[in-house]
Amino acid sequence: MTSTQPMRVLRTPDDRFDGLPGYPFQPHYAEIDAGDGHGTVLRMHYLDERPAGEPSGETVLLLHGEPTWSYLWRDIIPPLVAAGHRCVAPDLVGFGRSDKPADRFDYTYQAHLDWLRALVFGPLDLDGVTLVCHDWGGLLGLRLLAEHPGRFRRAVATNTMLPAGDQDMGPFFVHWLQSSQRSNPFSVAAVLARNLRAGADPAVLAAYDAPFPGEPYLQGARQFPLLVPISPRDEAAPGNREAWRVLETLDIPFLCAFGEHDPVSRVHGERMAERIPGAKGQPHVTIADAGHFLQEDQPRRLAEAIAGFIGSAP
């Protein structure tokens, strides 16, 4: 990605993140090349929680999706750390405490892949990874899994997919595609509130809005739905088809843990379980009374499924 002008980058003020409920974690930052051809640097934020004392057992990479951020994993991280594992949860560029390009056209599928790859295999240099990916975290994480399989030990896909432009995304996605562009204002809290099974504390919903003090900060969230490959001619479709050719030969343990009431991706989880060799015979779980954001609806059950899978899979 090379532009005629340096990328213009916004940074959410730190005080927006003060006192968020259930989010006591210390921030960590790394700088990566924005890839605009002008030497622009992006600061990416990530959580890095691990057991005290002895080295941790496994490294768990938790990838959020649209339009959330690492706050999504706040109830999943503590039980995994208590089980002896290191948890790394980045904020994708444009989300959370990570920098936010102000021009929505700076956000492309390839740019997101390059930015995430630069963080997790650059400054963090993660290896032997257990991937846990949700929503757009899967559209990116499953690509990284296919392109760097030697870096991963196992994977958990939760309410996600890897579309290659040859599938019917269904009416709910079409509605989401339209509403994400037409909503004014665009509220992440409102998106969560519409999709949670039992509602949420207003303070929790407000925390999801914390990274986005105004429309200029929302360009990544606005653009993500438009980047989903819905046609074979989409620019990301060939790369995703190539990724599927690798995934269909991959024998690392692969678990699907999907919410019972997810309106978009549950059927894709069933297809992944059929297509990926490492998914054969795994204890795939459909979590009852959970929708798309099952980390909010049923965090304990999801954490138990992840921890149990790590404990049982080699």
45 is catalytic: no
**Tokens standing for 279?**
């998914």
| 262 catalytic residue (yes or no) | yes
Query: Which one from 135, 268, 284, 297 is the annotated catalytic residue?
Result: 135
Exposure class string for 83-107: b at 16+ Cβ within 10 A, else e: bbbbbbbbbbbbbbbbbbbeebebb
Of 313, 92, 68, 73, the residue nearest 210 (C-alpha): 68
Distance from C-alpha of 150 to C-alpha of 145, rounded to nearest angstrom: 8
Give the DSSP per-residue string, 5-39. Answer: SPPPEE---GGGGTT-TT--PPPEEEEEE--SSS-
Cα 46 to Cα 279: distance, rounded to the nearest angstrom: 29
Rg (CA), the chain: 18
From the candidates 112, 262, 268, 297, which is the catalytic residue?
262
Q: Which of 85, 112, 268, 292 is catalytic?
A: 292
Cis, peptide link before residue 253, omega less than 30° from 0: no
> Is 268 considered catalytic here?
no
Q: What number of CA atoms fall less than 13 Å from residue 184's CA on the CB side?
A: 2
Of 293, 292, 160, residue with least CA distance to 228: 160
Report the catalytic residues. 135, 262, 292
